[in-house]
Amino acid sequence: MRKLFLDIETIPADESKYEILKEIHARKLERHKSGVSTKPPETFEEYLESTGLDGAFGRICCISYAYDNEPVETLYGEEAQILISFWKVAENVDLFVGFNLLDFDLRFIFQRSIILGVKPTRQLSFARYRSDPIYDLMWEWSKWSNTRISLDTLAKALGIPSSKGGEIEGRNVAQAYRDGRLKEICAYCAKDVEVTRAIYNRMTFL
């Protein structure tokens, strides 16, 4: 069985999407004013930052991956090319392993592939309550309960050195990207893959 361990880092929407996003944000404000939405309105800057978690407008900054026990590699550069390269990597994989793959990483990859017209080399089942072809560490640890745990917390619980605590973490990837620190972002993403693989080996008693 060929396994692929992976992690992605994402960033907010490109400036070319700002006008569309301003229209969407304005509608959100109107819904709040009219009482349709009780959620407190966010500023445009806050809304823009949140697109980094939304496959419709956010972008993939890099994808780090490793086959089985092989060294970690990282894809970065132009987003469409990242996706093209990723789908070549994924073509002959039996099991995709990661943390929150179902609700974030793989979902984001599929959504960006659609947006950018990059046809996946395969389709994957996102069915819940199963560990094949996607082994999601977060859900496997909680056994599909609503008790969430972070990658950092799980690593610490298992005595595995965490990838967190450095200058770059998920919460400041967008700023690091704006500061031109792509190399450091890729290194952080690669560390997440190493931690992911170590956790998987512990959870599966390998």
Location of structure tokens 């069915």: 127
What is the strand order of the sheet 134-136 is part of? 73-76, 59-67, 3-11, 95-98, 134-136
Out of 11-20, 34-43, 109-118, pick the least confident: 34-43
With both helix axes pointing from N to C terminus, report the angle between 106-116 and 79-89 in degrees, rounded to the nearest 10. Answer: 120
Residues 6+ apart with CB under 8 A from 187: none
pLDDT value of position 41: 67
pLDDT digits (tens, 9 = 90+) for 130-158: 999 999 999 999 999 988 999 999 999 99
How many structural domains compose the chain?
Answer: 1
Separation between Cα atoms, residue 33 and residue 169, nearest integer Å: 35
pLDDT (tens digit per residue) in 61-118:
999 999 999 999 999 999 999 999 999 999 999 999 999 999 999 999 999 999 999 9
Domain that holds residue 98: 3-203
Q: Please name the residues in contact with 177: beta carbons below 8 A apart, sequence gap of 6 or more.
A: 11, 61, 185
What is the rounded average pLDDT for all residues in the chain?
94
The pLDDT score that the predictor gives to residue 150 is 94
CATH number at residue 29: 3.30.420.10
H or E element, residue 4:
strand 3-11
Amino acid at 84: I
* Contact criterion met (CB below 8 Å) for 154 and 199: yes
Q: How far apart are CA 200 and CA 131, in angstroms?
A: 12
pTM of the model: 0.95
Residue 29: strand, helix, or coil: helix
CB 130 within 8 A of CB 124: no
Structure tokens at 179: 């500061």
